[in-house]
Amino acid sequence: MNYRFSARLGNFSSSAVREILKLTQGDSIISFAGGLPAEEHFPATAVAEAFERVMRQGNKALQYGLTEGFLPLRESLGKRMAGKGMNVTPDHMLITTGSQQVIDLLSRIYLDPGDVVLVERPTYLSALQVFRSYGAVPVSVSGDKDGIDLDDLKAKLEQYKPKMLYVIPTFSNPTGRVWSEERRRGAIELCRGANALILEDDPYGELKFGDASRNYPSMFSLDKHPDDSCVVYTSTFSKTVAPGLRTGWALGDAEVIRQMARAKQAADLQSSSLDQQMLHQLLEYFDLDGHIEFVRKEYEKRMKLMADLLRRHNWRGAKWEEPKGGMFFWVELPEEIDTAELLKSAVELGVAFVPGITFYADNPQRNAMRMNFSYNDEAGTVTGMDRLTQALSAVLV
């Protein structure tokens, strides 16, 4: 058979994380690569009880559901979002198969081949995959520890006339940085003036360290909303409950949500209604905030451990910042080190990470690496850092 694949297939590339994870299956490799939550902290008992309550309702629980999502879940989520300054109705919300699908659906309805999408430098590698798959051109905007550089953003908006700006302003992937409120408001003002839509990706916002009462307002909450907002907001249950549920959501102007729902009908009709019903039960009967507080403290301990090990091993010329939340360290090594090559040696020694080159839209930095601290326990982290130090010792001379 002569398979005649679409020319669009040439826009797809394999995920570096997915490919690395293939190499790390089994017990021989300690992985700092994937953005994995700690499975021993999944609320398994609460999830099982919630599914049991759903199934008591009979076979109707197994029926098809609405494309937009299970209405009681959208209503419960709306109440939860209101506590974060995001006031929406169910018409302003779409339940999706993970927040990754939000990126895909919005790209499908909003981007044409050749359209420019501005992104942070560096940014989430799978978002870059999606944009490129639709023929869009990602262009990076510089930034610092306080967020995106507003002067560079203004210049890029004027130069490229982009359709969209994609950002992770709270505990970004891969750097773990958090934007100041000034940068958030400034970006909204600039993008609204340039008629550029902002896609705000917020998978890690509830995983904040230190003072739990400290508020990092979403860009969606800072803009006029829910209608006529220049921000589409997305988040997920993957980091706070369990990634296996593959359930996320989008908030935005009702017309934008309607068009995304049309695209979703063509993609998968609906996300799992059974999982959505379970999550509604979980929100109603389980102390999710208490669970998140527990997980947040556990991840902060693991972050502190990795920070201590980075200091103790004292890799020559390495630079890094202690993240204020999320799941990742971003480490920059001396310029002569190519972390893609370093990864090969590291895997041979039984440890993996993600090379920084995969997180750049353009002009990639080859000497950086992303390391996850949330997945491994203390023993695994200590052993993995020992192995990584051994791999580095061959090149740090």
| Domain annotation covers residue 1 | no
**The CA-based dihedral angle spanning residues 53, 269, 163, 197, taken in that order and rounded to the nearest 10 degrees:** -30
% of the chain beyond a pLDDT of 90: 90
Number of domains in the chain: 2
Is 275 in the same domain as 210?
A: yes
How does DSSP assign 25-46, residue by residue?
A: -SSS-EE--S----GGGS-HHH
- 262 pLDDT band, cuts 50/70/90, is very high
- 22 pLDDT band, cuts 50/70/90, is low
| Domain annotation covers residue 57 | no
Mean pLDDT of 198-218: 91
| Domain annotation covers residue 53 | no
Predicted pLDDT at 349: 94
Predicted pLDDT at 395: 81
- Domain termination site, one of 285, 317, 338: 285
**The CA-based dihedral angle spanning residues 275, 277, 283, 286, taken in that order and rounded to the nearest 10 degrees:** -80
Is the alpha carbon torsion for 127, 130, 133, 139 positive or negative?
Answer: negative
| Domain annotation covers residue 48 | no
- 5 pLDDT band, cuts 50/70/90, is confident
- 265 pLDDT band, cuts 50/70/90, is very high
The CATH number of the domain where 165 resides is what?
A: 3.40.640.10
Q: What is the C-alpha to C-alpha distance for residues 152 and 196, in angstroms, rounded to an integer?
A: 15
Q: What is the C-alpha to C-alpha distance for residues 394 and 397, in angstroms, rounded to an integer?
A: 7
Residue 283 near residue 298 (C-beta atoms within 8 A): no
The pTM of the full predicted model, rounded to 2 decimals, is: 0.95
Is 162 in the same domain as 216?
A: yes
The pLDDT of residue 388 is above 90: yes
Is 203 in the same domain as 253?
A: yes
Is 276 in the same domain as 297?
A: no
Residue 324 near residue 208 (C-beta atoms within 8 A): yes
Is 90 in the same domain as 132?
A: yes
Residue 335 CA from chain centroid, whole number = 27
- Domain termination site, one of 285, 300, 333: 285
Closest to 252 in 3D by CA, of 98, 83, 88, 104: 88
Is 242 in the same domain as 370?
A: no
What are 68-111's pLDDT values in tens digits?
999 999 999 999 999 999 999 999 999 999 999 999 999 999 99
- 24 pLDDT band, cuts 50/70/90, is low
Q: Which residue has the tokens 């040696």?
A: 345
Nearest 5°: phi and psi at 43? -80, 65
The CATH number of the domain where 27 resides is what?
A: 3.90.1150.10
| Domain annotation covers residue 227 | yes
Is 69 in the same domain as 121?
A: yes
| Domain annotation covers residue 112 | yes
Is 116 in the same domain as 258?
A: yes
Is 255 in the same domain as 382?
A: no
The pLDDT of residue 366 is above 70: yes
| Domain annotation covers residue 131 | yes
The SS3 assignment for 1 reads: coil
Is 197 in the same domain as 327?
A: no
Is 131 in the same domain as 12?
A: no
What are 30-44's pLDDT values in tens digits?
999 989 999 999 999
Is 302 in the same domain as 192?
A: no
| Domain annotation covers residue 316 | yes
What are 109-123's pLDDT values in tens digits?
999 999 999 999 999
- 25 pLDDT band, cuts 50/70/90, is low
Range(s) of the domain holding residue 201: 62-285
- Domain termination site, one of 257, 285, 313: 285
Predicted pLDDT at 225: 96
Predicted pLDDT at 394: 84
